[in-house]
Amino acid sequence: MTAPDWHTILRPGSAVRFGVEADDGRASTVWRLWTVTTADDVYIAGRATGSWIKASLHASGRWQHGFTSEAQNTGWASESGSRYFELWQRPPEVASGVTLALRIVIPTSQLRPGPSTRGRGREVRRLPPPPRAYGVVFDVFLLAEGHQVVQLERSNRVGRIALPSGGTVEVVARTISFDADLSEDFADHVLKARTAAASQGIPVPEGMVGRIAVHGWDPDFHTVKFLELAVDELPQAKPGV
């Protein structure tokens, strides 16, 4: 992956915006990671759903992914009726002073044309996409004071923010390969998203380009990962659906 490496450590309370964007205009959504000045709390959300859904990594170790309180007040809820999709505890360290907090996976096959982030007021740290059978993983690390991530080959540091305790939160991107084009495998997720939108009275016209972040559990690192998918086709409903 040929891309800039952002080494500067931003002060507590800062935000980093990042994503994948090709020269021909195909892009992911823009993801935002931000912090506060009063605690080691870290928040992550995609631009498409940032006002409704976010992941909250609290300094207490009680972490959550779900609807914001504002969205809950307007009637949004998960399938279980709860505000949250997932509640979990901060996972064990992967190395001394290093916690892999969360992963965002963006397959190149799921990039779609959209408004460019280039030239806008707020900086978006864009990475070029690898070939179609590959994708980009953004790993979010929490680091204790005096510790750092050992970067792997073909990886890039995307952002670093200082935390009030003296540690940092860092986003590191790397390229991964997929066995095949996963578009067909994603159809069930896309259909489910459209069905949920219809049940809430939200029109999703055929041909509209949208994006969803499918929530999953990473058993190897005991934390959540997001898989970003494009929603631009209306899949054929299965019998009984």
Angstrom CA distances, 30 to 47, 72, 91, stand at 5, 23, 26
pLDDT of amino acid 241 = 29
Would you state the structure tokens that stand for residue 131, as one six-digit string? 């070939």
How would you write the pLDDT of the chain (241 residues) with one tens digit per residue? 445 558 899 999 999 999 999 999 999 999 999 999 999 999 999 986 656 889 999 999 999 998 887 765 565 555 566 788 889 999 999 999 999 999 999 999 889 887 665 555 578 999 999 998 899 999 999 999 999 887 666 789 999 999 999 999 999 999 998 765 555 566 666 677 667 666 665 555 555 556 777 778 888 888 888 888 776 644 433 333 2
Q: How far is CA 196 from the centre of its chain?
A: 20
Query: Which tokens is 209 given?
Result: 């380009």
Domain ranges of the chain: 15-136+174-231
Closest CA to 173 of 155, 161, 152, 150: 155
Q: How far apart are CA 199 and CA 193, in angstroms?
A: 10
pLDDT score for 148: 85
Give the pLDDT confidence score for residue 154 in this predicted structure: 74
**How buried is residue 67: exposed, middle or buried, by Cβ count under 10 Å (0-12/13-18/19+)?**
buried
Rg (CA), the chain: 18
Q: Return the number of other C-beta atoms located less than 10 Å from residue 75's C-beta.
A: 8
Tracing tokens 């992941």 back to the chain, one arrives at 55
| Spatial CB neighbours of 176, under 8 Å, sequence gap ≥ 6 | 105, 134, 135, 136, 137
The residues, ordered by sequence, that sit 6+ positions from 68 with a Cβ below 8 Å of its Cβ are: 51, 52, 53, 54
